[in-house]
Structures are given as C-alpha cells and as structure tokens.
C-alpha cells in the first residue's frame, strides 16, 4: 500500500494462527539512493515479505539496505535471510546492534515473558543474528526521499529508533507507538522494558510536525496525528506515574 511518494506499507500476516494480525513493514523506494526496508518480520517470513515487496514493484534482490528499528525477534526475524538474498546493508542503533549481531543475548523475551508465552521460545531458537554494517545515532540523516532523520526513541528497548521523513512529514514509529484502526496508543507495556524512558521518547516524537504515523503493530494513523500524540503522552503518563 503506497502512502506517500516512494513510501509503501507492507502488512505481513503475523502467523497462520493469528489471522488478521499484521506486522507493518515499510519500504522506502528512492530511485537515486536505492530501496530501504524498515524491519524484517519474524523468522521464516522471507516468502511473505517477498510477495509484499512484489506488490510494490520490487524484488528482494533490489533491496539496498535494511534498517532495524530495534532488536526484537519480530523485527529482526527474516533479516539474515533477506541480507543473504539481496546483499543489503543492515543498519541499527549502536545500543541495539550487539543484540542484533548475536554478541549479546536478546533482551526479550524476558524469562517472565517466556513463562507467560512459552511458544516464543521456539521462535527465538529460529532467530538468526545479522551483522550490522552501519550504526545509527540520534539525528543521523539518510539521503532518502528528501531526507530521513533518525530519532532515538529508547524505552521499548535501549536502542530503539524511529524514522522521520522530512518531506512527507511521515513518522515510522516502530514499536515506540502502537495503533488500532487509526487510533494511536502508547507502546505495549507488556513488551516495553522501560516505560518511563518510552514516555520520554514519545515526547521527543511529539516535538515533530507529523502528518502520518506508521506503527509496526497497528498500521497507519493519519487523522489529527499531532493531537493524538499529545493525547497519548497524557494517557501514558497518567497510567505509569508513581
């Protein structure tokens, strides 16, 4: 689904068991600077990702880079396989890179999460590490579709990033925010390691002038986006104040 000039949302079914639940990858197609995929689904989803890329008119081989918003297994999942097929460069924030590369054990699922959802263990076992070719920092700027800025948004993980596309005022929020049928929400508290830091990160996002937000879990938000960001700050601060 094309949502701005050169920007496509690629909804990938999460699994056969969870029909109707999607992971929303983003493709940035820039004729001059090549195609960039934001996040890479769960392990063994290369086929579904390939089909979704095909609908946007490109093949896996046409990927020049993959940016991981963070280290979680539903974002890094098929990254290694996609890099093998495409030769794409992998980019991620320096604080999450060691986990993505397998030099450190992924922070999630935590032992408590595994206790509640033991089926995650099997998915974790299939997760392949990915070598990070370029480390990103807050404010890093990529020459994609008129300028794409890295916004450091830790909390969900220590090295979580969001991407702000300056020309289209589009925010790729990763898991810093979630959504439900156009209604913006804060990050999933169950899966967020440091909720206070995560709320500070939403404040950073609310400083931007945003027309459209893509949430990895929940898809596109385009109505009263700046207003919804302010509401989410209020709601999450209220729910998590001590």
Interacting residues with Zn ion (CB under 5 A): 72, 74, 175
Least distance (Å) between residue 53 CB and Zn ion: 20
Residue with Cβ nearer Zn ion (74 or 96): 74
What is the C-alpha to C-alpha distance for residues 182 and 167, in angstroms, rounded to an integer?
22
Least distance (Å) between residue 39 CB and Zn ion: 8
Residue 186, SS3 per DSSP: coil
Residue with Cβ nearer Zn ion (35 or 157): 157
| Phi-psi map region of 174: left, alpha, beta (phi>0 left; psi -120 to 50 alpha) | left
Least distance (Å) between residue 42 CB and Zn ion: 10
Least distance (Å) between residue 216 CB and Zn ion: 5
What is the C-alpha to C-alpha distance for residues 160 and 154, in angstroms, rounded to an integer?
5
Residue with Cβ nearer Zn ion (30 or 72): 72
Residue with Cβ nearer Zn ion (29 or 52): 52
Per-residue b or e along 183-203, where b marks 16 or more CB atoms closer than 10 Å to that residue's CB:
ebbbbeeebbbebeebbebbe
């Amino acid at each position: 689904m094309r949502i701005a000039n050169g920007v496509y949302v690629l909804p990938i079914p999460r699994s056969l068991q969870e029909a109707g639940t999607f992971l929303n990858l983003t493709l940035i197609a820039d004729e001059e600077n090549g195609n960039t995929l934001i996040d890479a689904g769960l392990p063994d989803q290369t086929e579904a990702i390939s089909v979704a890329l095909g609908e946007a008119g490109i093949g896996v081989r046409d990927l020049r880079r993959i940016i991981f918003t963070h280290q979680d297994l539903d974002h890094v999942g098929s990254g290694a396989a996609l890099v093998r097929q495409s030769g794409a460069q992998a980019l991620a924030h320096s604080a999450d890179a060691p986990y993505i590369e397998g030099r450190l054990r992924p922070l999630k699922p935590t032992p408590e999460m595994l206790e509640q959802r033991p089926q995650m263990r099997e998915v974790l076992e299939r997760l392949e590490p990915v070598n990070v070719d370029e480390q990103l920092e807050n404010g890093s700027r990529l020459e994609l579709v008129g300028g794409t800025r890295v916004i450091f948004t830790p909390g969900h993980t220590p090295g979580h990033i969001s991407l702000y596309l300056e020309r289209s005022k589009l925010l790729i929020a990763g898991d810093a925010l979630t959504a439900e049928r156009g209604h913006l929400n804060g990050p999933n508290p169950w899966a967020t390691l440091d909720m206070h830091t995560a709320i500070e990160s939403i404040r950073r996002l609310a400083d931007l002038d945003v027309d459209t937000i893509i949430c990895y879990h929940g898809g596109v938000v385009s109505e009263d986006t700046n207003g919804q960001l302010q509401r989410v700050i209020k709601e999450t601060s209220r729910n998590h104040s001590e």
